[in-house]
Amino acid sequence: MNASNTQIQMRKGLLEFCILHIISRGEVYASDMIDELTAAKMIVVEGTLYPLLNRLKKSGLVSYQWKESETGPPRKYYTITEEGKDFLVTLDQTWEDLIQSIQFITSKR
């Protein structure tokens, strides 16, 4: 069994949670999300982000607005919706519960 495959799957499972947190801080451009996710070693392939953003938009959790750019074509900036904020509160609680559960299991050596 390959540990790196499991590590990738673990990161993918948390990617939506991380993206919503990034967007919840304020209006953000996709390449800025990629930069932060890459720096945090949470994203392996850039192409993973765009389908996820589309899914979050279709679910009503994020929205976007086109804005003119001084350096090129217009850019799509993402913001979290009220429904997205509520969803993120639920995910935050789930994350805290998971941390406790994992610590409970892994502390028994």
pLDDT tens for 31-70 read 999 999 999 988 767 788 999 999 999 999 999 999 988 8
At 77, the pLDDT band (50, 70, 90 cuts) reads very high
In this prediction, residue 88 carries a pLDDT of 97
Q: Is 66 exposed, middle or buried (0-12, 13-18, 19+ CB in 10 A)?
A: exposed
- Euclidean distance between CA atoms 9 and 34, whole angstroms: 18
Residues 6+ apart with CB under 8 A from 18: 37, 40, 42
Over its C-alpha atoms, the chain yields an Rg (Å, rounded) of 16
What is the CA 75 to chain-centroid distance, rounded? 19
pTM over 0.85: yes
Instruction: Give the β-pairing of 72-80 and 62-69.
Output: antiparallel
Mind giving me the DSSP string for 67-81? EEETTEEEEEEEEE-
Q: Which amino acid is at 98?
A: L
Encoded tokens for 95: 């994350």
29: helix, coil or strand?
strand
